[in-house]
Amino acid sequence: MEFLGLFNYWVVVVLMMIGFYIVICSNNLIKKLIGLTIFQTSVFIMYISMGKIEGGTAPILAEGVTLYSNPLTHVLILTAIVVGIATTALGLAIVVRIKESYGTVEEDEIHAKDKKA
C-alpha cells in the first residue's frame, strides 16, 4: 500500500471541491444541500483515512492481534454522520417552508421576489 501515499487526501480534496462547487454554483436549494452532503462525506473520508494503519485491523480487541486502526476517528465520524443527517433534515425542512412562502426553491427567483417586496 506504499504507493498510495497521499492519494486518499487528494481524492478528499477533489470531492470537497466538487461539493463546494455545487454549493456555490447551483441555483437550486436542494442541490446545494446535496453538495453540502458531498463536502461533509469528503471530511469523513479524510478522518477515516487518517485513522487507518497499514496492516491494522478493526479496533475490536481479539486474541493474537496487536495492531488496530484508530478507534478515535471512527467514534468522531460515526456520531458526525448521524448528527449530519439530523441537520440535513433540518435544512430540508427549511427548504420546504421556503417553497411554501415563495413558491420556488430556485435562489435567483427567491432574490427577485425579495427585491419586489
Contacts (CB under 8 A) with another protein, residues 79-108? 79-90, 92-97, 99-100, 105-106, 108
CA pair distance 37, 19, nearest whole angstrom: 7
Task: For another protein, give the closer residue by CB, 6 or 113.
Answer: 6
In the bound complex, what is the minimum distance in angstroms from residue 29's beta carbon to another protein? Answer: 8
CA pair distance 63, 97, nearest whole angstrom: 54
Per CB under 8 A, 114 contacts another protein: no
Among the listed residues 73, 101, 113, 115, the single contact to another protein using CB under 8 A: 73
Per CB under 8 A, 117 contacts another protein: no
Q: Which three cell numbers stand for residue 98?
A: 421556503
Q: Classify residue 88 by burial, with Cβ atoms within 10 Å: 0-12, 13-18, 19+.
A: middle
Count of residues near another protein by CB under 8 A: 87
Residues in the chain, how many? 117
